[in-house]
Amino acid sequence: MEEILPGGVANAGAVVRRGRFVLRPSNPHSKAVHAFLRELRSTGFTGASLPVEIQADGRERLVFIEGDVPVPPFPEWARSDDTLASIAQLMRRFHEASSRVPVGGGPWSDELADPAGGTMVCHNDVCLENVVFRDGRAVGLLDFDFAAPGRPVFDLAAFARMCVPIDDDRSARRLGFGLPDRPDRLRLVADTYGLDAGGRRELVRHLDRPMRSGGAFVRRRVDAGDPNFIRMLEEMGGMERYDRRRRWWEERRDSFVSALA
């Protein structure tokens, strides 16, 4: 018996649980991701998916991580400062473990990757729907489809953008966030992760690019006819959503810089 697991966009409706395992569509990067995740587990890090195989039907099979995975509109516990800090702690442990794993030959996805590359594999898509929680604390990272070599602070910025969230009021409300003090929450991420002054400046710089020119990834998927992304873009109000976010960032950027000082 297969149970459809909710959440996600790219693989919405195609990820299922069967007993102790998760089955999900594989892609051209799955073999490289599986090799990386096995090496990652050998470092002693247990906070990520453990792959089993790529089946004859083209689906990848991974060990199911027990816990809670929130979906939007996100419940109150998933929006708390404690939950946000626990993800930052998990990411710090993940990056420390990943730094000890050879990057390997790939191929890796370039869709959300750090344009400068890097010497360690980063997740690049740590949103609330890609984290498993127990009692409100992050215990596991899911969906490494967009993993690629990069810099840890670039990965941290992508996570902060989605989970603080660094987003305009209308979009934040759509996800259930209300209007939290987003500069304070970004500082919480930086403090919990342990960023120094230079790292905090980099964090803002890595937020600048997607906030000022975001939407390219979604547009590529929409132009390719992906029904899940077409539906998501319509629900978000079309590409105007990204213009609205850009304007909001231009108005609010200094408050985030001040919060990180």
pLDDT at 146: 95
Region 163-188: mean pLDDT is 93
Mind listing the pLDDT tens digit for each residue in 88-147?
999 999 999 999 999 988 999 999 999 999 999 999 999 999 999 999 999 999 999 999
CATH number at residue 192: 3.90.1200.10
Region 70-97: mean pLDDT is 97
Q: Which of 16, 40, 63 is the last residue of a domain?
A: 63
Check whether 74 has a pLDDT greater than 90: yes
Region 153-160: mean pLDDT is 98
What is the C-alpha end-to-end distance of the chain, expressed in Å?
Answer: 53
99 and 194 fall within a common domain: yes
The neighbour count for residue 66, using CB atoms within 10 Å, is 10
Q: In terms of Cα–Cα distance, which of 203, 180, 175 is closest to 260?
A: 203
175 and 254 fall within a common domain: yes
Q: Looking at the 3D structure of the chain, how many domains does it have?
A: 2
| Sign of the alpha-carbon dihedral angle for 166, 171, 174, 177 | positive
Tell me, yes or no, whether 68 lies in a domain: no
Higher per-residue confidence, 232 vs 189: 189
Confidence of residue 29 (pLDDT cuts 50, 70, 90): very high
Confidence of residue 21 (pLDDT cuts 50, 70, 90): very high
Look up the domain containing 191 and give its range. Answer: 76-260
180 and 224 fall within a common domain: yes
Do β-strands 120-122 and 50-54 pair in parallel, antiparallel, or remain unpaired?
unpaired
Check whether 71 has a pLDDT greater than 90: yes
Q: How far apart are CA 16 and CA 184, in angstroms?
A: 37
Mind listing the pLDDT tens digit for each residue in 223-245?
888 787 778 778 777 778 889 99
Region 31-35: mean pLDDT is 97
59 and 87 fall within a common domain: no
Check whether 163 has a pLDDT greater than 90: yes
The neighbour count for residue 230, using CB atoms within 10 Å, is 15
With tokens 């869709």, the residue in question is 111
164 and 48 fall within a common domain: no
Region 185-193: mean pLDDT is 98
Q: Taking a C-beta distance cutoff of 8 angstroms, is the pair 75, 177 a contact?
A: no
Q: Which of 32, 63, 94 is the last residue of a domain?
A: 63
233 Cβ neighbours under 8 A, 6+ residues apart: 218, 222, 239, 241
Q: How far apart are CA 200 and CA 12, in angstroms?
A: 34
